[in-house]
Chains A and B, each alone.
Chain A
Amino acid sequence: MKLQFFSHSLTRQLRDEAESNFPNYGSDCSWFESFVESGPYLRESRYVVDPPPVLLLPDDQGNLHDAENARRIFSWLKGLSPSTAMEERLWACLTHSVFPGYMAKRWPVTSANTIGRRYLLEGQSFAALSRNGISRLWWAGYLTIDEGRRDPFELTDVLFLRQDIQVSLLERSIGKCHNVRHAVLDFFLRNREWLQEKSFGKRIQVILRELNLLGGVMILDGLPAGTLEKFLDRIAADVAKDDEKTTAIEDAIAI
């Protein structure tokens, strides 16, 4: 089958009418057919793809299955070029027409903002690609796949372990740097105990800030993985030390 996408006018209409239309979004998609009844709205791309995969729905135990779904979406659309993967019309079609059930469960619509952010692309920045409900899965796979590993999606799994990791790497410019992105994910793979830390959110912010500062006076792109690994280990050791000090002070104050 050929990969389909929406027309410009339908995408625009969905955005323009989001405010009045958002209560319709949900697992019952029957509204969509009447919404688009005027004229053909589906276009065919040149991409020939297999039938779409089944995406896992979030369960009651709080498992979102983002990592597994990223594997499925990226493997399904592996031939997509980055420029095509920036097309709002494609992601609008996949969120509304191909995976509406998954979207309703994973990203329930509570306001027009959710439609702009999760069903369409919100703005022109690269960060918007990491927010659309389906494009984020594809880009996550694209940016973290490493064919040199026994499991090429090993780092994809790490990316989705914590929301803080995704935001830090996919919505900040430093995460665009391939070797930094992979080095940070590899660091968490090697130091899984960090993920259990109460102050993990703060720790990752400090690590990325330190890397950013380092990038201000040094060219991080193209540095060998081993060098970056050493930098990260050093920064992380300092962060952990400071964190312990802060925690000790906080505990002392609490006492």
Chain B
Amino acid sequence: MIIKDRSYPHPVLTPFRDDVHPNDFSLKLSVMPDADNYYLDVEFVYSNPTITNMVESERAVHCIHIECRRNYYREIFTSRAKTARLTIPATEMVGRVEVSGFVKASKTLSTYSIEGAHADYGDTTFHLQDGDPLAVAETYIFDAYVDYDPLKTVKSILNIRCSEEVVEGPMKIDTGDDNQIIVTLSKQDYRRYTDLKGNPSLGPLLANQVVVPAILEAVVEIRKTSEDEIELEMRKKWFRSITKKLEDSKIDPRSSEVSAFDAVQTILRLPLRRSLEGLYRLDPLDDAEQ
């Protein structure tokens, strides 16, 4: 449920309208996932004395409404306190989740009026029932995926394959798979790659020959994705993983403020330096003696 501007039959405290002044009413939310649960820390922020009094006198209650867009999960949590921690099993929600916060009447209020009501309301009082909203905050949206796989294990989102047809030719990168970025090497290159990667000093260099362009392609792909398509693309594990890694590195995945190449170097932790260090460790004399 996304709460937008609505016209209510009684004055409602909400940033969408000037029914009540000041119209400060918001929900602060932080979401922390682990393997089993989502932990939602919520805080209602407002100063209206009528709402405060209604909640304290148990005539109204804070509500958090959570709805998962891709399945049937839709729950409401209530609390007298302005802050709360909600724990939701990770198995309940997948994909885009809408979190709305409001205060609703929890019993019949026969002569309701609110401090700060717009002058147009005059001395009018209202008959409200259990369930009528008294204050409404803007809806917050987050994407629920607990399989974030930071790129420390790049191979979980990158699959390097040998081409079945091409004997000698360029490397191909496919970002169309739901789980992994598929890198296909020609038969000869794949043989060379597997032969050489056993050498621990060459490992970083070889990996980066494949990993850097693949992740670069992925970052560009994320940036190209329109706002409308983000939700759909988030079903891809690699898409989520790289998006999360960029966010963890304080890089806006959708902004081109930082160049795609700089972004890749940041999330792969300076791949060139690691490759060159590997080369430094190669001692030609060792090879000659073998």
Contacts and interface: CB of A to CB of B under 8 A. Distances in A.
Contact of B78 (A139, A177, A222): A222
A61 interface: no
Given A8-B177, A83-B92, A218 B132 contact: yes
Interface stretch (B64-72, B111-119, B250-258): B64-72
A217 interface: yes
B280 interface: no
Contact of A221 (B71, B76, B177, B178): B76
A82 B71 CA distance: 8
B71 A223 contact: no
Given A81-B91, A124-B95, A219-B76, A86 B131 contact: no
Nearest to A220: B131
Contact of B70 (A124, A177, A178, A222): A124
Interface in A63-86: 81-86
A108 to B, nearest CB: 28
A94 to B, nearest CB: 18
Contact of A216 (B6, B68, B69): B6
Interface string B113-145: 000000000000000011111000000000000
A141 to B, nearest CB: 12
Contacts of B274: none
Interface majority SS (helix, strand, loop, mixed), chain B: loop
Interface residues of A, number: 29
B70 A126 contact: yes
Nearest to B67: A176
B231 A124 contact: yes
B131 A223 contact: yes
Contacts of B9: 217
B8 A178 contact: no
A126 B71 contact: yes
Interface string A213-247: 00011111111100100000000000000000000
Nearest to A11: B178
Interface majority SS (helix, strand, loop, mixed), chain A: helix
B261 to A, nearest CB: 30
B241 to A, nearest CB: 16
A126 B133 contact: no
A139 B72 CA distance: 9
B128 to A, nearest CB: 10
Nearest to B235: A124
A162 B231 CA distance: 33
B137 to A, nearest CB: 13
B282 to A, nearest CB: 39
B13 to A, nearest CB: 15
Interface string B9-52: 10000000000000000000000000000000000000000000
A125 interface: yes
B179 A221 contact: no
A129 interface: yes
A139 B70 CA distance: 13
Interface string B44-85: 000000000000000000010101111111111010000000
7 contacts: A8-B179, A86-B71, A124-B231, A173-B1, A219-B65, A220-B131, A227-B129
Interface of A: 8, 81-86, 124-126, 129, 139, 142-143, 173, 175-178, 216-224, 227
Interface of B: 1, 6, 8-9, 63, 65, 67-76, 78, 89-95, 102, 104, 129-133, 177-179, 231-232, 235
